[in-house]
Chains A and B, each alone.
Chain A
């Protein structure tokens, strides 16, 4: 049974190519175009992993994570945040979120696949 992955990114080409790459890796990928959409999808059917961008319209990645922390206190799936910002000041909020990991832009599909493989299959 393939693992379910929710991908939230407002950049259409990025979402498309990542979805393509991850599907090739054997994941069942659900693409959302903003945080609100992703939250709805997660609450409806919690995935095995959530991968989200931060800068998004309607609801940002940060707000999505904070909402999840509040709404799903016993969440079991990891969250991967794709960020272009390396400044620690901008990562302060992530200390409050459990099981959160960073993916720095530009994202390496291979590294992401390896990481997910290790974490989810073990």
Chain B
């Protein structure tokens, strides 16, 4: 880890964008050093030259003592004195043959000096010599006044070398130190300024890559950088504010979208659940919504008709006319009801249309809501009621008519004793008939209103059946009824009078709707928890459609043959209500032309208990 970090640091320094200031600093330092050395060498050279010339002048003006003309000791001392100078290589005096008379040299000099040039020289001359211990600059000239031929002096200085002179090191160091100190300082300052910027850059890069969240830059700095960081952090605050408000908005949006879709789904499910057909069209009569009932009514799918004009698929002219009329009339609150035949041809639909308005702009018509309701049952019930009133009217007026006629006849035929007895009997019977009718009407009303109280007794069903048979008007009818029941059948807890009405109604129907020559069977059976009583005839039979409505009040068979029989459509309704009061069931099985079987099933006590659990 550590080595990697170090490696990264090095790489960072060496990478082109980072190394530039360092390279610049090194270059400057190098250049300064080279220049310094160059000028140092130049100045050493000049100094040497100056020194040499001064020495040469001193030497050349040297006078040999007159006594022997061979004493060069003063000169020798002068050279020895020169040894103090580090650059001094050697100093010597030669005779005219080239033999050295004196030699003053540094220890390091270990070489054979070359001879002077042959040409006579009367003044100071210099030449460069390459010796083993280094390059020297040699000065030479004649010594005046020497005895025994011309003598020459020679002395040399080492050439100043290009390089660091230890003597000048202090000066160089004094000069170089500030430079060498300044460069790292500059680099340090640069690094100090650049690092926070680099950090900010890295941080931003991470934010952009999505690795971290945008946050404050915590870097200690001062001056302009601190100001920049403060402003940058201010910017971060602002951006964070924007981001969080955008997040909040987004969450709100998601929530409201969920809420909207929830509401839409809820409304849709409500519209689908409504038992009526719902059709919504826009102002151009294009379908906006239909629910499942409309789909099944017209045998279409919502997908097929949505956004398509109503006229494109709705072949039911009355509906189309109705909706068009509603739109063109510009009514603001129309609730008109028209009747139309259900597409299945059997049911009647009540159609009501309501213009739709936006609550914001109540004036503009945005479409229509059309409700389609199957009103077949309402119509049937209405018709049943009309039929019932007709039948009731007949039931009441027939005995009244008979009574009235006899009363009129009494006027002219009153003397006839036999006729008076006949009149009495007829009137009594007709009054009973009327009373029975009224009683029946009251019973069903009471049963329906729930004000009927059961007078429960334990009775044998077979006894109730025999009672019913015994009160039948005609002996032939009594003879047609065959009762099949075991004597061991458990008695049941019932309201005997009510149950008699129910069973009587079943028997009367069975006799009425079957041929006089055919028997009517009553079977009483017992199971573990119920006792059943079935009345079976071999008569007209009841169609399935009629069976569905057979226990409805006022309902009479649609069979023309059955219609011929007198009846007021109350018998089965009353029977069914009575059986229900006993928590029993009344069911029918029938086939046209073969007969019908009505079964009353009464639960025994245990049966009732089990069922109530």
Contacts and interface: CB of A to CB of B under 8 A. Distances in A.
A binds B: yes
B396 A109 contact: no
A41 interface: no
Given A13-B430, A24-B412, A57-B565, A85 B405 contact: no
A13 B564 contact: no
Contacts of B238: none
A17 B405 contact: yes
B398 A11 contact: yes
Interface in A50-105: 55-60, 82, 84-87, 89-90, 105
A84 B402 CA distance: 12
Listed residue (B398, B409, B566) with the most chain A CB atoms within 10 angstroms of its CB: B398
A84 B564 contact: no
A20 interface: yes
A18 interface: yes
B426 interface: yes
B398 A84 contact: yes
Interface in A1-41: 10-11, 13-14, 17-18, 20-21, 24
Nearest to A17: B405
Contacts of A10: 566
Interface string B381-395: 000001001100110
A60 B408 CA distance: 27
A105 B408 contact: no
Contact of B404 (A56, A57, A85, A107): A107
Contacts, number: 73
A34 B430 CA distance: 20
A85 B390 contact: yes
Contact of A105 (B389, B401, B430, B566): B401
Given A13-B426, A20-B413, A87-B386, A106 B564 contact: no
Given A21-B408, A56-B564, A90 B390 contact: yes
B564 A60 contact: yes
Interface residues of A, number: 28
B402 A11 contact: yes
A118 interface: no
B408 A108 contact: yes
Contacts of B405: 14, 17-18, 21, 106-107, 109
Contacts of B389: 87
A86 B429 CA distance: 25
A15 to B, nearest CB: 10
B57 interface: no
Contact of B406 (A13, A56, A82): A13
A23 to B, nearest CB: 11
Contact of B409 (A21, A84, A86): A21
A119 interface: no
Contacts of A84: 393-394, 396-398, 401
Interface of A: 10-11, 13-14, 17-18, 20-21, 24, 55-60, 82, 84-87, 89-90, 105-110
Given A14-B405, A55-B394, A108-B408, 12 more contacts: A11-B401, A11-B402, A14-B402, A17-B402, A17-B406, A17-B426, A18-B405, A24-B413, A84-B398, A84-B401, A87-B386, A105-B398
Interface of B: 386, 389-390, 393-394, 396-398, 400-406, 408-409, 412-413, 426, 429-430, 563-566
18 contacts: A10-B566, A17-B405, A17-B406, A21-B405, A21-B408, A55-B398, A57-B565, A84-B401, A85-B394, A86-B393, A105-B397, A105-B404, A106-B401, A106-B405, A107-B401, A109-B408, A109-B409, A110-B408
